[in-house]
Amino acid sequence: MSKRPTVAEHLARQGVSRRAFLKFCAATASMMALPPGMAPAIAEALGQRRRPAVIWLSFQECTGCTESLTRSHSPTIESLIFDVISLDYHHTLQAAAGDAAEHHRERVQEEFAGEYLLIVDGSIPIADGGVYSTIAGMTNLQMLEESAKGAAAIVAVGSCAAFGGIPKANPNPTGAVSVADIIKDKPIINVSGCPPIPVVITGVLAHYLTFGTIPELDKLGRPTAFYGETIHDRCYRRPFYDQGKFAKSFDDAGARNGWCLYELGCKGPTTYNACATTKWNEGTSWPVESGHGCLGCSEPDFWDAGSFYKAVSMPISDLGKLGLAAAAAGAVAGVAVGLHNRHVKAGAKAAHKPLTADELEGDKS
Amino acid sequence: MSQLSDIPVTVTVLQAGADAAPHGRALLMELENQLRDLVEQGRESSIDLRSLPLSPGDLAFLEQHLGKGEVTAEVSALGPSTVQETAIHGVWWVRHYNSNDEVMAEFLEVTQCPDIIRAHPADVRDSLEDLRARLVELE
Ligand code: SF4
Ligand code: SF4
């Protein structure tokens, strides 16, 4: 059994006051997309939870996910979470430590068997015996299988680990697959995105750290707190979409007025991610706010889903309801902002048909 | 590491009509609900501004319509936090920053006094010990 201090003890040792701890909990609740009233419950849970051991494996990847996390907000509450979470082995950050680091990984796997959290970024190449990516003489496949055995849960960080990502893109020369394609007997949380939003990564880790449980997941294994709604559902340009006001090129009057980027290929309507609310670069902005459509990076096979600049097809049956739903949103309470599209989604499975601006114009209410 | 503020980019916020603040009015109505609960039942609540899809115009709209009240406080705990009472008594704008002055969390709190201002009983108890120890040292 681990004798690690509880999270609250650890913070107190670092001279963090209760007031600061409260702030930490408030920011954590916000990060986990929980209601602000949850902060005291988080404080209580953190007072009892022991710091978990964490092993981070990087496979066939570009290090963008690790960059996304470590380059953001430093030093911050997120990095504090990281500090608290006790990263025992991260072989990108530890590359220089070689053999000693490998032994350390083995020790952690033994000492905390059944308890540690395994974080994986990058896909796993399995063609030709897995020779396309090896670490310390082991193929990624071997290392994943070995490290997964004693893990309490696995977090697949980034679209590569979650779905295969860019390495898996056609024609997939290395036979890249996702973590869930290989490991079948452990809970796996997919934190997709290319890269995922840093606060989403830390939010998921904070959830595990705080409650010791796996958050609610969607059918692709993603936490619904962050991937429960599409970019389009929460996009601030949505009122323009509902009015049929579309930018037709990146420098026309519509683009300058901040109109919807649907016709310029925005994949917001089919992409589940939290960019529209958490934003990027310390909350500065996000792709649509910067004038470019969403690429759909948090969805499986986004790289092969056709041109980034071609409009996605939408089920035509949705249209009549959209204008109404948007109009109603202005009249209901603020917490409902952005949630108003939930009820129309059920019908969105209908046959997909490309949609033109003219059809939208004709349909606005 | 270079900071965002080091990069010479000028941000121009669009000055469009009602379109610039599509959610502003809905948020004010939500605050009206919460303030009523505080008045009638003493129930405190808050809105996590980072969890809503707000446009820059929405925030400007809120700032404009809530105004600035009598109390401004700064807390330093894991980086600064600013607490500003709005011109609507009982509605507070609370921003938590990290040590790089980046906003980590932002709330509108509907309460008589935000928790981050109060001294925590356990901290007060510890400080009592601390003060006594200081007195002993003086002897
Ligand atoms: S299509 Fe894209 S830009 Fe338009 S409202 Fe949807 S997410 Fe926003
Ligand atoms: S806006 Fe779309 S493509 Fe861009 S980061 Fe978010 S989910 Fe990925």
Q: Is A143 exposed, middle or buried (0-12, 13-18, 19+ CB in 10 A)?
A: buried
Reply yes or no on whether the pLDDT at B49 is more than 60: yes
**What rounded mean pLDDT belongs to chain B?**
85
pLDDT value for A66: 79
Q: How many residues does chain A have?
A: 365
Ligand nearest to the CA of A286: 2
Is the CB of B4 inside 8 Å of chain A's CB atoms? yes
Residues A30-40 have a mean pLDDT of 76
CB contact under 8 A, B100 and A37: no
Mean pLDDT of A76-97: 60
- For A233, which residue in chain B has the nearest alpha carbon? B53
Query: In terms of pLDDT, which residue wins out, A273 or A49?
Result: A273
Provide the mean pLDDT of chain A: 78
CA pair distance A278, A323, nearest whole angstrom: 25
The two tokens of residue A270 are 């089919």
Q: Which residues pair with A188 in a beta bridge?
A: A154
A262, A239 contact by CB (below 8 A): no
Tens-digit pLDDT profile for residues A300-344: 999 998 889 988 875 433 433 333 333 333 333 333 333 333 333
Instruction: Give the Cα separation of A54 and A108 in Å (integer).
Output: 9
pLDDT of B60-90, one tens digit each? 999 999 999 999 999 988 788 999 999 999 9
Q: How many whole angstroms from B129 Cα to the centroid of ligand 1?
A: 58
- Reported ipTM: the value is 0.74
In eight-state DSSP terms, residue B2 is -
Separation of CA B19 and ligand 1 centre (Å): 15
Give the minimum alpha-carbon distance from B94 to chain A in angstroms, rounded to a whole number: 11
Across the interface, whether the CB atoms of B116 and A80 are under 8 A apart is answered no
**What is the residue whose two structure tokens read 């209410």?**
A365
State percent of chain A over pLDDT 70.
76
Q: Which residues contact A262 (CB under 8 A, 6 or more apart)?
A: A241, A246, A268, A269, A293, A311, A312
Q: Is the dihedral of CA B122, B124, B128, B130 positive or negative?
A: positive
Strand (E) or helix (H) holding B110:
strand B103-110
Span A239-264, mean pLDDT? 93
Q: Is A327 on the interface with B (CB under 8 A)?
A: no
Q: Is A337 an interface residue toward B (CB < 8 Å)?
A: yes
Q: Do A19 and B46 touch (CB under 8 A)?
A: no
Question: Which residues in A lie closer than 8 A to residue B120 (C-beta atoms)?
Answer: 17-19, 22
Pick the ligand that lies closest to the CA of residue A338: 1
Dist. CA B58–CA B16, nearest whole Å? 12
**B64 CB within 8 Å of a chain A CB:** no
Enumerate residues lining ligand 2, CB below 6 A.
Answer: A 193, 231, 271, 273, 275, 286-287, 294-298
Q: Confidence class of residue A81 from pLDDT cuts 50, 70 and 90?
A: low
Which structural domains are found in chain B, ordered by start?
18-138 (3.30.1370.140)
Dist CA A45 CA A212 (whole Å): 9
Strands A176-177 and A124-125: antiparallel
How far is the alpha carbon of B69 from chain A, nearest alpha carbon, in Å?
22
Q: Which segment of A254-263, A320-329, B24-33 scores lowest on mean pLDDT?
A: A320-329
Residue A342 confidence (pLDDT):
31
A295 touches chain B (CB under 8 A): no
Q: What is the average per-residue pLDDT within A161-189? A: 96
The Cβ of residue B81 has, within 10 Å, a number of other Cβ atoms equal to: 24
Name which of B79, B31, B76 is nearest B52 in CA terms. B31
Asked if residues B107 and B46 have their Cβ atoms less than 8 Å apart, the reply is yes
